[in-house]
Amino acid sequence: MNFKCQNAQLFVPDGLPAEQALRRTTHMAIAAHQDDIEIMAIEGILVCFQQPDTWFSGVVVTDGAGSPRDDLYKDYTDEQMRAIRVVEQKKASIVGDYAAQALLDYPSAMIKNSAHKDPIDDLQALLRVARPEVVYTHNLADKHPTHVAVALRVIEAIRSLPEAERPGRLLGCEVWRDLGWMLDEDKVVFDTTAHESLQAALLGVFDSQIAGGKRYDLATMGRRKANATYFASHAVDVMQGMATGMDLTPLIQDPSLDIQEYVQSFIERFAGDVRKLIGNVQ
């Protein structure tokens, strides 16, 4: 695979040639930063883990240079930080048994500027070889601008593919803002009950972020527990862990759909629900 950025790479944990490794993919996550995949797309990792016929591939779009740092890493330069985050992402791909892990190495600023088309070309090249059935990316109501920009680039890349080459599902996942506010019937529910210790291991390899002062490991496992318990107020817990997603599939099936209006429709249904409930009990 030839990517546009000089230091971009495709890492294959089991050492197969790049295209052969990628062609196995059934589930793919495309995320902004190193560690986002393991926070948001755990369903895909778990569905594929140690299975002969399903394979998970990860794509990290940015270079991870600007992350906060502390503890062991407090004197690291941006370059050293970038290098350690690449190593951490490769470690996660080994722990999680991924088919392949792409690291596209774009500066955040370039992803947030839609005039830059190189990221779209790289994403299309990956999608064309991998042909995933399911793609996970950031949800469009995330509060991190780079996350939302990645989701928009993913939609653009998929929309430009011939219809027959588009994935069957595109799901927007939780990182910087969970989706608890969405109506339950609008949520895509991911069961994360299985392999709890593997989930913890996948989050734990990102030591530069966790020691950097953010307990993403505890927060993510806690969010999965909270989602499972707070999902349905009148039923017992049927899952021990849950992540939720926003279904973005209609946006890739119908490229004429307006992205802003599509997201606003979820927010409007939420607003209507709050209005109705207060009206019912006052």
* Residues making contact with Zn ion (CB under 5 A): 32-33, 36
CA nearest neighbour of 254 among 151, 128, 154, 159: 159
Q: What is the CA radius of gyration of the chain?
A: 19
For tokens 């209005």, what's the residue?
Answer: 275
As measured in angstroms, the least distance from the Cβ of 177 to Zn ion is: 12
As measured in angstroms, the least distance from the Cβ of 79 to Zn ion is: 19
Of 26 and 220, CB closest to Zn ion: 220
As measured in angstroms, the least distance from the Cβ of 62 to Zn ion is: 8
As measured in angstroms, the least distance from the Cβ of 173 to Zn ion is: 11
For tokens 């409930």, what's the residue?
Answer: 277
Asked if 117 contacts 99 with a C-beta cutoff of 8 angstroms, the reply is no
Other C-beta atoms within 10 Å of 183: how many?
Answer: 11
Of 33 and 223, CB closest to Zn ion: 33
What CA–CA distance (Å, rounded) separates 78 from 112?
Answer: 19
As measured in angstroms, the least distance from the Cβ of 36 to Zn ion is: 4
Of 85 and 166, CB closest to Zn ion: 85
Of 31 and 100, CB closest to Zn ion: 31
Of 24 and 64, CB closest to Zn ion: 64
Q: Is 260 helix (H, G, I), strand (E, B) or coil?
A: helix
As measured in angstroms, the least distance from the Cβ of 61 to Zn ion is: 10
What residue type is assigned to position 166 of the chain? R
What CA–CA distance (Å, rounded) separates 255 from 158?
Answer: 9
Q: Which residues contact 238 (CB under 8 A, 6 or more apart)?
A: none
Of 43 and 166, CB closest to Zn ion: 43
Q: Which residues contact 47 (CB under 8 A, 6 or more apart)?
A: 27, 54, 56
The residue nearest Zn ion at its CB is 33
According to DSSP, the residues that pair with 242 across neighbouring strands are 191
